[in-house]
Amino acid sequence: MTTEQEPGPTQAADVYQQMSMMVTSHWIPQVVRAAVDLSLPDHLAEGGLTADEVAQREDSASGTTFRLMRACVVLGLLTVDTEGRFHGTSLLATLGTDFFDYLAKHPSQARDFSEGLTSTTSLWTSDAAKVIDTTGVKLVVDLGGATGSLLHLLLEGNPSLRGIVFDRPNVIDGAAAETARKGLKDRTDVVGGDFFQSVPSADLYVLKMILHDWDDTSCIKILTNCRNAMTPGGRIAVVEMIIGELSDPGPAALMDMNMLAAVPGQERSLSEYDRLLSAAGLRRTAVLPTSSRQSVIEAVAR
């Protein structure tokens, strides 16, 4: 019979060190977030600056700015020269890149992101497809549609419908492959483009979890392009979580924290979506609940 040996002094110290790293690990993302909030990647892109110079540009406290930048040296985000001027590293430069611009430059990771998003939202997609009526619709565009999962469900439910998956050129290969796999190639076009520039003309636009990725100005641009391109009598279906009243905002308020950390967008209340629609020349005609957390907001031209 054997008994478990007590850890020796060195082993015990290693265990305590490991636990210390676990309970203090939140320091690192907070430092990184603060570096972004102070726009350090932008300020240091052209050369070194002292903490005082950064503080002056940002109207921040000089002392705490210095302490933050010193911590960034530990993390390898910054270096410092003998004159006390901080310089950005290649690691810091990764924070100056917009999330979607990064995906555009890394096609394989963009495909992984697209496929992962499709997997995690498969239930929501099915629920949305059940409540979007395509009666009388000839052509639907799945805007930012990734692999086209929502469009495929709509096509399967309406044999006379044609569709377009419209997304960035670096992800449309996945949409083409999935469309072919489902036997919908004859009724589907896969188009690469930029919805901030223009979108194909159609009777119906579906935007599944697109607007929450972007700030208000960007959302209005996307919606305006849809408004300008839609055929007479066309409509838009926006699939998103909706934040409830302040006393009961619902799970969308928690998702909003993720959006705050990851992208320029946000989750919104119904009144906030109404303001976006109005600014784009649209008016809301319906809010269709689903059995999941998403709702479908439908709108037509004003």
Catalytic residue list = 212
What are the structure tokens assigned to 289, written together? 């609940």
For residue 164, give the nearest of 188, 186, 145, 185 by alpha carbon: 188
**Closest C-alpha to 190, from 211, 170, 204, 213:** 170
- In angstroms, the CA 188 to CA 145 distance is 12
Give the containing element (helix H, strand E) for 235. strand 235-243
Answer whether 205's CB lies under 8 Å from 141's CB. yes
CA 129 remoteness from chain centre: 21
Token pair for 231: 């055929």
Among 284, 263, 262, 264, which Cα is nearest to 273's?
Answer: 284
